[in-house]
A and B are shown apart, each in its own frame.
Chain A
Amino acid sequence: MNATPAKRTPLYDRHVAHGGRLVPFAGWELPVQYSGLIDEHMAVRKRAGLFDVSHMGEARVGGPQACDFLQHLTCNNVARLKTGRAHYNGLMTPSGCFHDDLLIYRLDGQQFLLVLNAANVDKDLAWMRDHLSGFDVELTDESERWALLALQGPRALAILEPLTRDPVAGLPYYGFARTPVAGVETLVSRTGYTGEDGFELYVPSEGAGRVWDALIEGGGEHGLKPAGLGARDTLRLEAKMALYGNDIDDTTTALEADLGWIVKFKKGDFIGREALARQKAEGLTRRLVGFEMEGRAIARHGYEARIDGRIVGRVTSGTLAPYLDKRIGLAYLPLEHCDVGTSFEVQVRGTGQPARVCETPFYKRDRP
């Protein structure tokens, strides 16, 4: 551990006032829960929850060759990204693994906003700086400048709409717009990490408190609750969204992680392309799959997956899924054991507990 004091987001005082339990996370002091993890999880599925995710890093990439630069470093096709749209992407290592996973927003033809995992910000910026030479691009760390609020759940639109100057109902999934929210200039993005409809609000740090207060006040009648990192993790896992450091890292390729949909071989060369193309041609040896536990035991990160007593893989994430009321998880398994319905055992405190590969996502919301 280092001695650097944990950073506080601009909303720290609100978390304390709401009774949030603050824990250290990626160098930050953040609320893991307020009223209770299950209560907050259900609020997001049925009504709405408000998360402070200001720990996420932001970097701006701008200049005549900004698009080329990002094309070179990532696996998804940045050239296809229209102004006003965002996409999910991977910052790739030469072996086709994840340096980080990220969102890229196209602000205009030559300006992009990258949203990075808090624990990876320094590493990502160093990696990108190392690759700047030859590109007419400016790279700026904007992490300090932005607070990030995630308003998620079926009532999110109804809560946000009265507070924005311009209408946001027409924003498509992964679309964004700039408009004041409660009088604070905000980038309103129809994205999230919960599997629900909702918005992520990029707010200048000094305006974060005003936006938070307006949402909490206006959201009361809709059943909005502040929600912590605990619920964020169970919600994302029900929706089978990968967590860096658990399900993906610099030893797992994008194809193994079942994220082939963000690997665009046809876009041209990029770091990691050769390794990914080779893996695709030769075939995968393992893949990230979802599973359900058949008994009452809960699988956790790092637990062994076994077949006939032999270790065949590891659990990368596992939890009780509050909305589904099932015990779910993700694990890398050898390709021959990845079919839905395949039985295996998860080693829980010395005992093999039955599990079964299942369809994912575990939870998918009904879209109107």
Chain B
Amino acid sequence: MVPTDRRYSKQHEWVLVSDDVATIGITHFAQDQLGDIVFVELPEVHAELSRDEVMGTIESVKAVSEIFAPISGTVLEVNTELEATPETVNSDPNGAGWYCKMSIADPEDIERLMDAAAYEQLTKEG
């Protein structure tokens, strides 16, 4: 259920590293908890973010949740498709529902994140 090709934050974001670029999204568990997602607020491209800084919001019918930068770095690209079709985060959180891509300012930020087994444990503890 939890893909093992990526790492996870306590705030329920996933981070997939490829060629020094981190693709970031919210987890299947998080989208399921939020319910029907109806609005996604993306960060600005080129924004420089520090780890744990709020970089945007994701909103379901019931509630607003903030999205925190899981690592420090610069926003390289955002998934503008989500502005028109935020429900993609529900239907494909690990793929087409990705949120943004960032450069990796400090590789240790990646090490600090959880692996799939640790994240799965976190979601079970509720």
Contacts and interface: CB of A to CB of B under 8 A. Distances in A.
Nearest to A36: B36
Interface in A34-93: 36-38
Interface stretch (A166-174, A178-186, A215-223, A296-304): A296-304
Chain B contact surface mostly = strand
Interface in B73-95: 83
B1 interface: no
Given A296-B39, A320-B38, A37 B61 contact: yes
A32 B60 CA distance: 13
Contact of B38 (A230, A233, A298): A298
A322 interface: yes
Contact of B62 (A230, A296, A297, A349): A230
Contacts of B59: 298
B35 A33 contact: yes
A102 B122 CA distance: 42
Contact of A300 (B38, B41, B64): B64
A320 B38 CA distance: 8
Contacts of B41: 349
Contacts of A33: 35
Chain A contact surface mostly = mixed
Contact of B61 (A230, A296, A297, A349): A230
B57 interface: yes
A46 B39 CA distance: 24
Interface in B49-81: 57, 59-62, 64
Interface string A313-345: 000000110100000000000000000000000
A298 B36 contact: no
A357 to B, nearest CB: 22
Contact of A37 (B36, B39, B83): B36
Nearest to B38: A320
A298 B36 CA distance: 14
A234 interface: yes
Given A297-B39, A298-B39, A319 B61 contact: yes
A297 B56 CA distance: 13
Contacts of A32: 35, 62
Interface in A276-326: 296-298, 300, 319-320, 322
Contacts of A37: 35-36, 60-62
A293 to B, nearest CB: 11
Contacts of A36: 35-36
A234 B41 CA distance: 22
Nearest to B59: A298
6 smallest beta-carbon distances between A and B, as pairs? A38-B36, A320-B38, A37-B61, A37-B35, A230-B62, A37-B36
11 contacts: A32-B35, A36-B35, A37-B35, A37-B61, A230-B35, A230-B62, A233-B62, A298-B39, A298-B64, A300-B64, A349-B57
Interface of B: 35-36, 38-39, 41, 57, 59-62, 64, 83
